[in-house]
Amino acid sequence: MARIDDTVRRVWRRRPFAVIKMGQLWRLVRESRENPIIGQPRPPEAVSANELGITFIGHSSFFLQIGGRNILIDPVFSRNLILLRRQRSPGSLPDLMPAIDLVLITHAHMDHLDIASLRYIVRTNRRLYGRTPEILVPTGVEDLVASRGFRSVHTLSWWQSAQVVDLQITMTPCRHWGARMFRDMHRGYGGYVISSDRHSVYHSGDTAWFNGFAEIGRQLQPQVALLPIGAYYPDNYRAVHVSPEEAVRGFLDCKAQWMVPMHFGTFRLGREPMEEPVQRLRAEAARLGITDRVRVLNEGETLRL
């Protein structure tokens, strides 16, 4: 019996990589459907043209009101990402929002660039407001959005800037990857600093910790940093994702005044417990004495500045 068990273990260890990944994915899919989806979408809180409003939609999706413009970043409203079901409802929906001026996409991964959600945004804005938004994507991603009905398509690479809908937008580096599938590694990826005359917001996109946070702070001086805190376990995930403690380090490096966490609680992408990223974030903020600078938003909640 011992010999049989040893043989089984050796065969199991030699499983092809694709088989191992499919097994991991199926476990995540099964777990994502164990509990009902919680939460209810609502209209975002309106702010004046002189204020900054940051509404958390869920995962890495935000609705920004900045410089009198309305922006969606990495909007994902779909119930499912292929087979993976969301755990919480979006905090708001395009039907409940004012006219969207611009959509920003950080990279082509399906939990950031969701084709169904982009169609929903275009269709809703055309029906309600008679016009469609512009869209800005990393270089190499434009083919995925070119025929989706947006008024115009803009592209940027790292450290390039553009004036779009009266806002200054700079694409920032990150430590991640951008392929939509497996082999299209030509696609760009990164974050953005969005600036008006009065405010600036840094959305890092997905990233591991890297010394570029400090350079972003030196060059662009963001007021608010939207930083990911989930999908860091197993530890090899941290090659492309920060832990909560590393996210706080990145926040301090970029010298923003406020940190808003993202990339947690919506989809089961890592093996850590769903509630753990926020717990560890709050513990690290308390340890460093910066609790008052870290704002954890519920879906649909708006930070006003």
CATH number of the domain at 268, please: 3.60.15.10
**Would you say residue 219 lies in a domain?**
yes
Q: Give me the number of domains the chain comprises.
A: 1
Residue 27 lies in a domain: no
Domain presence at residue 132? yes
For residues 198-230, b (16+ Cβ closer than 10 Å) or e, as one string?
ebbbbbbbbbbbbebbeebbeebebbbbbbbbb
Predicted pLDDT at 8: 47
Task: State residue 36's pLDDT score.
Answer: 74
Mean pLDDT over each residue of the chain, to the nearest integer? 92
User: What range does the domain containing 160 cover?
Assistant: 35-304
Domain for residue 25, yes or no?
no
Residue 54 lies in a domain: yes
- Residues of the chain with confidence (pLDDT) below 70: 1-34
Q: What is the pLDDT of residue 244?
A: 98
Task: Supply the pLDDT for residue 37.
Answer: 80
For residue 88, is it within any domain?
yes
Q: What is the pLDDT of residue 181?
A: 87
Asked whether residue 118 is assigned to any structural domain, the reply reads yes
CA distance 226 to 275: 19
167 occurs within a structural domain: yes
Reported pTM: 0.90
Retrieve residue 175's tokens. 């430590």
pLDDT recorded at residue 10 = 58
Look at residue 163 in the predicted model and tell me its pLDDT.
98
